[in-house]
Chain A
């Protein structure tokens, strides 16, 4: 049997995947676990976070590996991972993706940034950072982000055999989508080969932050209204949904806009910001000012609806949404 590089007090090597729904982290976790259990002959358990989360919402997948004679009893989420795999860099804005890591844990991030930059972004005191441009690889190879991430995770889990994964890819895709086997294997291999890894030792005198249990609420029985009634109408506008965008965003050019409201009609997320102004004849009329990117999930329906060139689809570069955003004005108490 293969040897696990390190285990916790119960005998587990633990992995946590951090993603948004739709990037294939659930499937990646499943494949990784099967590679360990069915391929490497380990014992293991794997599961994903479940709830009302939809595509574009933060999700987690949890994997525990152990040897065959270690009883698996723990069903709680992985709070102290040896490896964290972050499929979507922007998640760090709203989720503590590195929660509970040890000083010798490895954090894999899908990013184009350097490990030093990411150490700051992730607010890490210590640990090993592994970087893979999974999105770039997936675009180049016309395959999925999760395949490149799986490749990189195999690199970080030396007890898993990349050849068994390639067999799994061939078997699962081979009969139905033979044309995609090569691209999937290329994506996997590039993920495996192109990881850059850098260690950041924990400075003397510092200690790694304690984890906060995943089931800790903000409200309690003295502060929650009775019956679960929400007495704060419309407060969901406080949420930041910008992490739901997975690459593309709409770009708005005011000069080309005829203010027809087709975009506003089809937008599922109420992102378009309007203002009443006098028109050329001095009569009050509605004018589109722009997009509030806090709520834009990047579906791009508005671009299809736009009868002019005012809305177009662009690759999102860092800072672009913040620079272009026009904030909604809410009628606050």
Chain B
């Protein structure tokens, strides 16, 4: 909604202030004014900022929302569901695959009728992975039973967030409500926005507290059973109730919207119509693009063309009657869907609009369907003109030549088609014989011999130069040092994360050998499948023609984030003991999405979701000990390593390969520097991880068939340092060295000492 600054403030009953903020900032702003009880969240672009802004405000004491950093969206949705059954107000924000991962929870939330508000910051869904804005995630929400409010700009993100909660909690609705805005176009563009000046007025509008009289799980005198098993005589009636509630939501929305207009002067009808009174040709678009099209309407009107545009403010329930009425006298309309419903001869919106016309007996308006703007492809005014030209042409010809098509796709120049440039790496270059590994038949121990690092430079690197990592990034020096210990061919799978993103920006790849990326959480399962297919096809003789001189070594590369969201699949793969290696590069946070805390982030560390302020001093819990978790699955080999101790890491890689080829699953963790988000100097990464080892925060050890060996003991070398000698290098931890944070520092040091002592005891005793 375009803001009319001259009239608006006069019309509004509540005091408002003007801010200059983005859509994500306004979602967070509204949430903090509502002061929700709980937000369970997990980072995913472009919605992550919502939690970040809320954490920043929390650090400075501006709200009391309990922010719960979950281990994946399935969990964040679970946390929100549980919290909503317990009677308080619940908020969440996600995008794209985050939404897909929580999808299973959505119909449960609506079907069991617990209100909450979820911001969907719309983004295209994988695969291939694309982080930019379209509506492919939103279209999956259409059948979840959630009312869906649409936001064209940051102003409406704010307004709809307030309306959404009131709608969700309304006695005639009692459904969770989705607020959908366009990723980047709206979430990251700053605009002038008007907001309630006082949170008290916000609470007056939405209600001080959630309405009474609905069951919740914390009422000890009235115990309830949530989520029973329901058979066929009853289930359909539950669904009928839900259907009624959904249609009620449309009527209730209009009532709330009128009330909101009284308060603020801003009015959201079911449809946002521009110049539709006498329009002969129209375009239907949703959210951000529906604003751009208004400029096009103005230009066409100035040429005497009776153009108009329609955009919905709500798509569930679908404003069927309103659309049919709006199109009564329109001769042709082009409907742009920013996501396809593959095989349906149009996106979801065009088919629902056609159904609306049919239902209301309109057989004269011609409808053209175009899929546009996928994966964040920009929508320019010239694109809007094209959509109108299609409608004008249909009117002139009296028919629609091409009812359904894509718009904005390109055929490509055959001369510029990709041609393979590099030959495959030579097996003999990779199988150098420089590394030897022998098993002692009596003790069963492996002995590894490696040459000086200098000789190993002869081995080709597994990755090409030209990847887009930040200067000083520790990932690739760490990984290549590890790969130096691996002889022969590898097949790699990378979890979602920096290493994946910066090496595979289409049409470029830095991977010289075969590489796979699947979903953020699902790498261990995916590689399990590849491994077992290898062995099965090999057994059937289907790979004989390749003349493989050696079996592949299967390596999964993950960040610490991937080991949070993918912990379950990783443990599953470990318990199945597939012949593969999981190597985790741990940079202590979700660095790819903007430095949010992971479970590996140590206590007190500053991240974008564990900010420093008067109310909080960084992360509140200790770092996850992933190596010990994996060791507890009793896989043959677990290790830790660092590029600062290169020989140690190369040896461990050689052992890892032996076990992964002969026995089963191997897990290793390497600590790697992230100068950008550790707020450290680019050139100091190796020293910093060295200090992490010498401080015993990150001890170097291996667990071989359950027996622990510390492979480098800084105490023996007289090199052990206090944590402060490590923490002083990084901007994200320097505050821990201040006197006011001494208690937190001591707590951290105490935990590191405790884990170190446990490790030493394990080193001494093979049965620990």
Top 7 nearest A-B pairs (CB, nearest first) are: A220-B412, A236-B466, A223-B412, A228-B128, A299-B472, A234-B464, A73-B291
Q: A44, A77, A269, A303 — which one has the most chain B CB atoms within 10 A of its CB?
A: A269
Q: Is the CB of A33 within 8 A of B190?
A: yes
Decide if the interface of chain B is mainly helix, strand, loop or mixed. Answer: loop
Inter-chain CA distance A264–B460, complex, in Å, is 12
How many pairs of A and B residues are in contact by the CB < 8 Å rule? 295
Does the CB pair B412–A215 fall under 8 Å? no
* A311, B378: Cα distance in complex, Å: 46
7 A-B pairs (CB sep. < 8 Å): A37-B192, A50-B188, A214-B378, A228-B506, A235-B508, A260-B453, A261-B452
Name the B residues within 8 Å of A47 (CB-CB).
22, 184, 188-190
* A268 to B480 alpha-carbon distance, docked (Å): 9
Least CB separation from A9: chain B residue: B299
Chain B proximity of A16: nearest CB distance (Å): 14
Instruction: Name the CB-closest residue of A to B419.
Output: A232
How far, in angstroms, from A212 to B46 measured CA to CA in the complex?
A: 26
Of the listed stretches B77-85, B392-400, B497-505, name the one at the interface; the rest are far from the partner chain.
Answer: B497-505
Across the interface, name the chain B residue whose C-beta is closest to A233.
B512
CB proximity of A251 to chain B, nearest CB, Å = 14
Give the distance to chain B from A284, nearest Cβ to Cβ, in Å: 9
**With contact pairs A46-B190, A75-B186, A76-B292 given, residues A220 and B452 touching in the complex (Cβ less than 8 Å):** no
B498 near A221 with CB under 8 A, answer no
Complex CA distance for A300 and B192, rounded to whole angstroms: 43
CB-CB contacts below 8 Å: B168-188 with A: 182, 184-186, 188
CB proximity to B under 8 Å, residues A105-149? none
Q: Which of B134-192 contact A (CB under 8 A)?
A: 153, 182, 184-186, 188-192
Whether a CB of chain B sits under 8 angstroms from the CB of A280 is no
Which residues of B have CB within 8 Å of A295? 465-466
A234 touches B418 (CB 8 A): no
Please indicate the chain B residues that have their CB under 8 angstroms from the CB of A301 in the complex: 472, 477, 682-686
CA distance A238 to B421 in the complex (A): 10
Q: Is the CB of B412 within 8 A of A224?
A: yes
Contact A235 B131 (CB under 8 A): no
Interface membership of B294, Cβ < 8 A: yes
- In chain A, positions 1-48 with a C-beta closer than 8 Å to chain B are 10, 21-22, 30, 33-34, 37-38, 43-48
In angstroms, Cα B461 to Cα A330, docked, is 12
User: Is A259 part of the contact surface with B, judged by Cβ < 8 Å?
Assistant: yes
Residues of B within 8 A of A (CB): 2, 4-6, 20, 22, 45-46, 127-128, 131-132, 153, 182, 184-186, 188-192, 288-289, 291-292, 294-295, 377-381, 409-414, 416-426, 452-458, 461, 463-477, 480-481, 498, 501-514, 643, 646, 675-676, 682-687
Given pairs A73-B292, A230-B418, 16 additional interface contacts (CB within 8 A):
A10-B295, A50-B45, A75-B292, A76-B380, A217-B412, A233-B509, A233-B511, A236-B466, A239-B468, A241-B465, A264-B453, A266-B685, A268-B474, A269-B467, A269-B476, A297-B470
Within 8 A of B (CB), among A238-297: 238-239, 241, 244-245, 259-262, 264-272, 274, 276, 285-286, 288, 292, 294-295, 297
Residues from chain A with a CB closer than 8 A to the CB of B683 are 299-301, 303-304
Task: Give the chain A neighbours of B186 by CB distance below 8 A.
Answer: 75
Residue of B nearest to A29 (CB): B190
Shortest CB-to-CB span from B537 to chain A, Å, is 19
Q: Are B422 and A45 in contact (CB under 8 A)?
A: no
Contact A232 B472 (CB under 8 A): no
| Contact of A51 with B by CB under 8 A | yes
Residues of chain A within 8 A of B675, CB atoms compared: 299
Residues on the A chain within 8 Å of B465, using CB: 236-237, 241, 269-271, 292, 294-295, 328
